[in-house]
Amino acid sequence: MAREQTRAEVRRERILEAALAVFARRGYREAAMDEIAVESDTSKGGVYFHFPNKQAIFLALLDRMAALLMARAEAAIAAETDPLAKIDAALRVVLDTFADHRSLARLFLVDALGAGREFNAKMMEIHRAFAGLIARHLDEGIRRGDFPPIDSRVAGLALFGAINEVVTDWLLDPDPPPLERAYPALRALLRRSVGMPAE
Amino acid sequence: MAREQTRAEVRRERILEAALAVFARRGYREAAMDEIAVESDTSKGGVYFHFPNKQAIFLALLDRMAALLMARAEAAIAAETDPLAKIDAALRVVLDTFADHRSLARLFLVDALGAGREFNAKMMEIHRAFAGLIARHLDEGIRRGDFPPIDSRVAGLALFGAINEVVTDWLLDPDPPPLERAYPALRALLRRSVGMPAE
Amino acid sequence: MAREQTRAEVRRERILEAALAVFARRGYREAAMDEIAVESDTSKGGVYFHFPNKQAIFLALLDRMAALLMARAEAAIAAETDPLAKIDAALRVVLDTFADHRSLARLFLVDALGAGREFNAKMMEIHRAFAGLIARHLDEGIRRGDFPPIDSRVAGLALFGAINEVVTDWLLDPDPPPLERAYPALRALLRRSVGMPAE
Amino acid sequence: MAREQTRAEVRRERILEAALAVFARRGYREAAMDEIAVESDTSKGGVYFHFPNKQAIFLALLDRMAALLMARAEAAIAAETDPLAKIDAALRVVLDTFADHRSLARLFLVDALGAGREFNAKMMEIHRAFAGLIARHLDEGIRRGDFPPIDSRVAGLALFGAINEVVTDWLLDPDPPPLERAYPALRALLRRSVGMPAE
DNA sequence: GATGAATGAGCATTCATTCAT
DNA sequence: AATGAATGAATGCTCATTCAT
């Protein structure tokens, strides 16, 4: 039976939350453990009791955010049956999630990539997870004859990258237009790229 | 007639070269000015005589690399007349250039993004320059009736992002397959995305 | 009852002591944080844990020395009732204190002034505190009819400056005569300047 | 016959002027040779051709300013016959000169003292020159029976210091009242200190 | 479990001075 | 005489990590 969270778990959670805020505010390199400790209402030693080092905290956050986004995308996809509707749904979820959490998205898409080579492996894993999700649905569409055949690994990456870039551009723009505005064009492009009519 | 480079220009060049090597080896944050000085066979003070700070060196390199890549792509495009051939040519140039300079590409596509928020503006500028190049040719194709209409700004970003992601995946892979292998699928996808047949 | 000093307080004290020695030996600008750390048997980081920067250490020392000197002067003054005796007592304390701590006096009277414009405000504050002390007693003497009236603010500064200069001359002299030797003349001058007979 | 200044002399002069401006603006330590070079419309190498090092420039300026001030004071004194009038005249000259050249006075009275121990000897020399000037006139007054006897060396220092402090206080005050306002009180004090009536 | 203190390697930058041309 | 380049020692400060209590 799931007991109440132990005190340790609560503390751990508080640290993660604080770290997310600090990383989002400062970026990975600029974030100081001191600040995370203060923001989580703990001592520096306390933080190190729960996490072996700074990297581990960041990694934990990456994992958690990736899992969340994946789960949302999967759910949205599962709720639809039509392959085109699935594409639409997933795209919408991703765009909405990022639009709602700008600084988080920035951390995830921009800072994490260059946070240091130690993160490269993890980032590859995450990117591949998303690209793989797309690829799996492509494969299924291809199998069912909805889409013409294509190297789904590369295609998955490419489609993921296409969305990524549009979001990233929006992230780096100091005075960005609403992200939704990119939706129709992106949708048309993605559809056509898999052999469907834009509309 | 262009006179020989002055001593200062030669030195400046040597510093940039050395910096490129060091940045590629270590990433931006890990690169030490000391190492750049040693590698360029200069003193630290000498480096600072030619560049005001570390950032400026990195920025100079980014600019230079972006210009080079843009020029190559433009040239390849200009050499073709058929819109589809233009796409092929540009894609090929980009893939080939990155494939030939892996660590440079890594610096450019991966490290630079997260090098610190001071670089975000410059990165946006560079990404937009490439996306804009694609967008211009899309617009022309649309105007000539080759492609169906689309929001070319978003499409340019998306296509740039698609290529980017494929290259980035290859960069982060510690044991990557040849990058050319991705070419056919990427080509098919790009073609279809602008309303052309895959073949 | 005052508990024993905490470990932190002890360490802080040790750093201040070491800093005083180093500043006195080298002057403010030449003093290196490294040296202070070594001399206080701490690490550089340790010093920075207790003080935010070099300036703060120097400021703390200035404050402390000023307070000490002021307290001694006040005590000596309080121990006398006759206004002339008060002047004598204060003058004696100041001269004795400086004579006993030559390098400290040098730091205080010579180096601190030119340590950088950041210290100007603090130095003005300290000088004014001493001049103010003198001015207060002048005012009282004037009120009691012991001295003829005068602008006590200016007079306080002037008298402080007079003592200052005699001490400073002694400080800058590489082979100085005993400072006490200046006492009789200084005493006569100060007395006369406030309208009292030299003897 | 004094030929026109050689080009070298002109250049030397320009450097001194520029240096004065820079030192007055930044203080000794903060002043960079680079800035002096630029401000004197020369190259750094050029500056070093005319002066062996930074110290030498500062020393030259100190000498020149001290000589100027001394000369003015001597002239003012020589123009009077009455000893009291001489005191008044000299005091007035000093106060006026400093009031007219605030940043220069700051350099001279504040920064120079703490510019580094290398300047201590020179500063002692300068201070003693002024104190000596006062002492000489005191001695003459004593010899003529105008003033009661006193140790004129100490008295000279003290009187110089008194003026100094009043000026210094005015210099360090970010929002100072006119310096002349201190004149009457200072005058009364100085007169009394040498045994003369305040008025 | 938690804390405050302590550590120390690491680093960008400054600047007086030198010197080949 | 003059210049622009080059030098390199010097230094304040940061920060992830450790550890005694």
Q: How confident is the model at residue C1 (pLDDT cuts 50, 70, 90)?
A: very low
- A41-68 exposure pattern, b = at least 16 Cβ within 10 A, e = fewer: ebeeeebeebbeebeebbbbbbeebbee
Q: pLDDT tens digits for C96-134?
A: 999 998 888 888 888 888 888 888 889 999 999 999 999
Closest CA to C198 of D192, B90, D59, A95: D192
Closest-CA residue of A relative to B193 is A193
Cα–Cα distance list, C159 to B19, C165, C191 (Å):
62, 10, 10
pLDDT given at position C2: 46
Measured between CB atoms, does C151 come within 8 Å of chain D?
yes
Burial C85-119 (b: 16+ CB within 10 A, else e): ebbbbbbebbbebbeebeebbbbbbbbbbbbbeeb
Contacts of C50 (CB under 8 A, 6+ apart): C8, C11, C12, C15
Distances from the Cα of D1 to the Cα of A109, B115, C40, D4, D9, angstroms: 80, 68, 65, 9, 16
Residues in contact with B133: Cβ distance below 8 Å, sequence separation at least 6, in sequence order: B70, B73, B74, B90, B156
The Cα–Cα gap between D36 and D43 comes to 9
Assessment of whether the complete model's pTM goes beyond 0.75:
yes
Is A158 close to B189, i.e. CB distance below 8 A?
Answer: yes
Report the percent of chain D where pLDDT is more than 90: 63
pLDDT of residue A4: 67
What pLDDT score does B152 carry?
A: 94
Per the structure block, which two tokens stand in for D189? 């004090």
- Banded model confidence at residue A5, pLDDT cuts 50, 70, 90: confident
Kindly report, residue by residue over B2-50, the tens digit of the pLDDT: 456 788 899 999 999 999 999 999 989 999 999 999 999 999 999 999 9
Q: What is the pLDDT of residue C79?
A: 95
For residue B111, what pLDDT is reported?
87
| CB proximity list for B145: less than 8 A, separation 6 or greater | none
| Length C6 CA → F14 C1' (Å) | 26
Q: Which of residues 50-79 of D touch strand F (CB under 7 A)?
A: 50
Q: 10 Å Cβ neighbour count for C171?
A: 20
List all chains that touch chain B, counting a touch as 3 or more CB pairs closer than 8 Å.
A
Per the CB < 8 A criterion, the answer to whether D105 and D61 are in contact is no
pLDDT at res. D3: 56
Test B166 with A158 for CB contact under 8 angstroms. Answer: yes
Convert the pLDDT of each residue in A6-26 to its tens digit: 888 899 999 999 999 999 999
For residues A40-54, average pLDDT: 96
Q: What is the pLDDT of residue B125?
A: 92
pLDDT digits (tens, 9 = 90+) for D66-103: 998 999 999 999 999 887 788 889 889 989 999 988 88
Look up residue D5 and give its two tokens.
């200044």
> Residue C142 has which token pair?
């004037």
What DSSP letter does each residue of B40-62 carry, written as one string? TTS-HHHHHHH-SSHHHHHHHHH
Contact flag, residue A55 CB and nucleic strand F, below 7 A: yes
Say yes or no: Cβ of B6 under 7 A from any atom of strand F.
yes
Q: Distance, angstroms, CA D55 to C1' E17?
A: 12
Report pLDDT for A1: 47
A75 reaches B (C-beta below 8 A): no
Nearest to D112 among C114, C192, C195 (CB): C114
Closest CA to C154 of D128, D181, B138: D181
Q: Is the pLDDT reported for residue D1 higher than 60?
A: no
CA nearest to A92, candidates A113, A71, A72: A72
Proximity of residue B11 CB to strand E below 7 A:
no
- Residue whose C-alpha is closest to residue D194's, from D140, D155, D153, D144: D155
Residues from chain A contacting residue B117 (CB–CB below 8 Å): 27, 30
D178 neighbors D99 (Cβ within 8 angstroms): yes
**For residue D100, with 0-12 CB atoms within 10 Å meaning exposed, 13-18 middle and 19 or more buried, which class applies?**
exposed
SS3 D117: helix
Query: Is C178 near chain D, with CB under 8 Å?
Result: no
Asked if residues A152 and A142 have their Cβ atoms less than 8 Å apart, the reply is yes
Q: Find the helix or strand (DSSP H, E) in which D149 lies.
A: none
- The backbone torsions φ and ψ at residue C195, rounded to the nearest 5 degrees and listed phi first, read 90, 10
Q: How confident is the model at residue C22 (pLDDT cuts 50, 70, 90)?
A: very high
Locus of tokens 């104190």: D131
DSSP secondary structure of B90-126: HHHHHHHHHHH-HHHHHIIIIIHHHS-GGGHHHHHHH
Q: How many CB pairs under 8 A join C and D?
A: 154
The single-letter code of the amino acid at D26 is R
Q: Quote the DSSP letter at residue A82.
A: S
Per-residue pLDDT band for A39 (boundaries 50, 70, 90) equals very high
Instruction: Kindly report the average pLDDT of chain B as a whole number.
Output: 91
Across the range C149-159, mean pLDDT stands at 94
Q: Is D196 on the interface with C (CB under 8 A)?
A: no
CB B58 within 8 A of CB B28: yes
Q: Is the pLDDT of residue A117 over 50?
A: yes
What DSSP letter does each residue of D2-56 carry, written as one string?
-PPPPHHHHHHHHHHHHHHHHHHHH-TTT--HHHHHHHTTS-HHHHHHH-SSHHH
Model pLDDT for residues D26-62, shown as the tens digit of each residue: 989 999 999 999 999 999 999 999 999 999 999 999 9
Quote the pLDDT of residue B1.
40
Nearest CA distance, C104 vs chain D (angstrom): 14
Integer CA distances (angstroms), A32 to A20, A21, A118, C8, in order? 12, 12, 18, 23
Lowest-confidence region among A41-50, A126-135, C167-176, D115-124: D115-124
Mutate to test the interface with B, among A192, A194, A196 (most CBs of B within 10 A): A192
Q: Are D147 and D194 in contact (CB under 8 A)?
A: yes
Q: Average of pLDDT values for D166-179?
A: 93
Q: What is the mean pLDDT of residues C14-33?
A: 94
Q: Report CA-CA distances (Å) from A182 to A162, A189, B158, D73, D138.
A: 12, 11, 10, 80, 90
Nearest to D157 among C121, C157, C166 (CB): C166
Determine contact, residues D94/D163, Cβ cutoff 8 Å.
yes
Pick from D102, D159, D169 the residue to mutate for testing the C interface (most C CBs within 10 Å): D169
DSSP state of B181: G
Structure token pair of residue D26? 């930044």
Encoded amino acid at A146, one letter: D
D174 touches chain C (CB under 8 A): yes
pLDDT in tens, B107-156: 888 888 878 888 888 999 999 999 999 999 999 989 999 889 999 999 99
d(CA B147, CA B154): 15
| Cα angle D97-D100-D102, degrees, rounded to a multiple of 5 | 100
Spell out where chain A has E strands. none
Structure tokens at A63: 């994992």
Per residue in A184-197, pLDDT (tens digit) is 999 999 999 988 88
Strand E lies under 7 A from the Cβ of residue D45:
yes
Rounded Cα gap, residues A2 and B148, in angstroms:
57
Query: For residue B125, what are its two tokens?
Result: 């500028």
**In terms of CA atoms, which chain B residue is nearest residue A106?**
B114
Cβ under 8 Å to D: C residues 15-44 = 27-30
pLDDT given at position B160 = 94
> What would the mean pLDDT of A64-70 be, rounded to a whole number?
90
Report d(CA B44, CA B33) in Å as an integer.
Answer: 7
D123 lies within 8 A of chain C by CB: yes
Tokens of A6: 């132990």
Closest residue (CA to C1') to nucleotide F17 in the complex: A53
Count of residues in chain A:
199
Q: How confident is residue D176, by pLDDT bands cut at 50, 70 and 90?
A: very high
In this complex, the answer to whether residue D169 has its CB under 7 A from any atom of chain E, a nucleic strand, is no
Contact: chain A with chain C (3+ CB pairs below 8 Å): no
Q: Do B186 and A162 touch (CB under 8 A)?
A: no
Note the pLDDT of residue C199: 74
Interatomic CA–C1' length for residue C121 and nucleotide E8, angstroms: 35
Residue D198 confidence class, pLDDT cut points 50, 70, 90: confident
- Alpha helices (H) along A79-119: 83-100, 102-106
D67 CB below 7 A from strand E atoms: no
Q: Is the distance from CB of C57 to CB of C48 less than 8 angstroms?
A: no
C49 touches strand E (CB under 7 A): yes
Q: Give per-residue pLDDT as tens, C67-79.
A: 999 999 999 999 9
